[in-house]
A and B are shown apart, each in its own frame.
Chain A
Amino acid sequence: MIFILLVFFLVTNFVIKMPMQERSLYIPTPKSELGRAQIVIQFIDSKRVFWIDDTVSGLVSEIEENYGYLSPERLRTRIVSELIRRNTITAAVLDTKLDALRQRADQDPYASYFVLIRCPNDLPFARMIDVIAKISDTSYRNIKYGCVGGEMEDIRQCRRITTVSEQDDKGFQRQNIRIDF
């Protein structure tokens, strides 16, 4: 009897949750200034994504040191092609990375992340919302996000991609990557 009652209430609870409801999701509007982010997600198409995070900095430094003899244009091309080769991921891998990011954010209330999502013109915007859904539900609300329009070609044809040493707001020196379009 108790078991049946339990099952009844569980099912009822589940059933009550099923109806869908229209809700609103807030997205910040873009700003005409240099963008700063911990993670950049560039949609190539609905299945592939180009992911840049702080691990990329070491790779770019390495290429700059090993191929410093190249002309700026060729060095830029080399860096971009190497980054694209290593950091283009599938939708499934993207989900895994987003889960890992969320877990990291949940473990440290003092960490804060800004994820910049760049979407090409023809991408269904629901795809962007899928990504936001995965990163917005952290325990400490310490992942912020922003969405802008942008093609993979913008990155391929960027004017410059280089490492820069900058001081963050806590006073620590960081090896950042700067991409100028």
Chain B
Amino acid sequence: MAFTRYEEKKGLSLPGLIDIIFLLLIFSLVTLSVSEAKIETKRRGDRSVDFDLPETRSKDTEEVDRILHTLLFEVGRQDPDEPGSPRMIWVLKPGITDSVSLQAAKVWAIHDSVFAAFPENFLGLSDREFEETKACKLIRKSIREYKKIHFKKPDLSNSVEIRAERQTEFRIVSYIMNQCSMYGDTIPRVVLRTLTVKEDRSGI
């Protein structure tokens, strides 16, 4: 009996094809995902990248959601594209139902005129003069009123948030902290909003 050699038709090499596909996948993932991350946050209206919060790699930070839970002072420039424009402070308050987003609270703050500008030379003012500025008066009043209603007794959860651009002068942050400390242990902490690398929850 003659044995015939059965020759397979040579088609495409499957392992090689898979290798190429994976290589292309990796390439596209690396190039697209990096840019998409930034676009996505802008599309979602997160504004984290727009606002230029200070970045930190500290793991001592906690996740925030987009709902406002306590009094928040947002410090930025009157004109975000103009570095020389005056520093502004907006007072954002949470709603009664705890469902007000940051953006909505900002809109209300503008609507209710709960904002103020720091004078251009505010760094050169004496402590007394600085305290008499419209912005500092607004800070004092906001904390006092908010504390009266919401912070009845000392509690670790009582805090005031500060959302400021990375270049914000420490004097403003310090003033807010000092105003909180006027009430002793009632407001023992302030919360600084920072930009941190997102936690990996993929489990990989």
Which residues of A approach B to under 8 Å, CB–CB?
Answer: 1, 4-5, 7-9, 11-13, 15-32, 119-126, 128-130, 132-133, 136-137, 147-149
Assess the B169–A122 pair: CB atoms within 8 A. Answer: yes
Assess the B177–A29 pair: CB atoms within 8 A. Answer: yes
In the complex where A24-B64, A122-B170 touch, is A13 in contact with B202 (Cβ < 8 A)? yes
Task: Decide if B19 is an interface residue (CB 8 Å cutoff).
Answer: yes
Contacts of B194 in A (CB 8 A): 22-25, 129
Closest beta carbon of chain A to B105's beta carbon, Å: 15
Task: Decide if B49 is an interface residue (CB 8 Å cutoff).
Answer: yes
Residue of A nearest to B56 (CB): A133
Contacts of A130 in B (CB 8 A): 54, 56
Assess the A20–B196 pair: CB atoms within 8 A. Answer: yes
- Give the interface centre of A16, A22, A24 by most chain B CB atoms within 10 Å: A22
How far apart sit A20 and B39, CA to CA, in the bound complex (Å)?
12
Q: With A23-B195, A121-B171 given, name 17 new contacts (CB 8 A).
A: A11-B26, A19-B37, A20-B198, A24-B61, A24-B194, A25-B194, A28-B189, A30-B181, A31-B181, A121-B169, A124-B169, A125-B164, A126-B54, A129-B56, A129-B58, A133-B60, A147-B177
User: Which of B164, B192, B199 is in CB contact (< 8 Å) with A27?
Assistant: B192
Assess the A21–B48 pair: CB atoms within 8 A. Answer: yes
Closest beta carbon of chain A to B102's beta carbon, Å: 9
Which residues of B approach A to under 8 Å, CB–CB?
Answer: 15, 18-19, 22-23, 25-26, 29-30, 33-34, 37, 40-41, 46, 48-49, 53-64, 123, 159, 161, 164, 166-174, 177-178, 180-181, 184, 187-200, 202, 204
In the complex where A17-B198, A30-B178 touch, is A22 in contact with B54 (Cβ < 8 A)? no
How far apart sit A28 and B170, CA to CA, in the bound complex (Å)?
15
User: Which of A4, A16, A27, A125 is in CB contact (< 8 Å) with B202?
Assistant: A16
In the complex where A21-B198, A125-B169, A128-B170 touch, is A30 in contact with B177 (Cβ < 8 A)? yes
Assess the B170–A137 pair: CB atoms within 8 A. Answer: no
Judged by DSSP, the binding face of A is mixed
Contacts of B198 in A (CB 8 A): 16-21
Assess the A120–B170 pair: CB atoms within 8 A. Answer: yes
Contacts of B62 in A (CB 8 A): 23-24, 26
Contacts of A8 in B (CB 8 A): 22, 25-26, 29
How far apart sit A84 and B88, CA to CA, in the bound complex (Å)?
36
- Give the interface centre of B189, B198, B200 by most chain A CB atoms within 10 Å: B198
In the complex where A23-B62, A121-B169, A132-B58 touch, is A149 in contact with B189 (Cβ < 8 A)? no
Closest beta carbon of chain A to B161's beta carbon, Å: 7
Residue of B nearest to A121 (CB): B171
Residue of A nearest to B172 (CB): A125
In the complex where A125-B54, A126-B167 touch, is A18 in contact with B59 (Cβ < 8 A)? no
Contacts of A22 in B (CB 8 A): 46, 48, 53, 64, 193-196
Assess the B170–A21 pair: CB atoms within 8 A. Answer: no
How far apart sit A26 and B189, CA to CA, in the bound complex (Å)?
6
Closest beta carbon of chain A to B136's beta carbon, Å: 13
- Give the interface centre of A13, A15, A29, A130 by most chain B CB atoms within 10 Å: A29
How far apart sit A5 and B26, CA to CA, in the bound complex (Å)?
10
Closest beta carbon of chain B to A25's beta carbon, Å: 5
Contacts of A12 in B (CB 8 A): 29, 204
Contacts of B189 in A (CB 8 A): 26-29
Residue of B nearest to A7 (CB): B26
Residue of B nearest to A24 (CB): B191
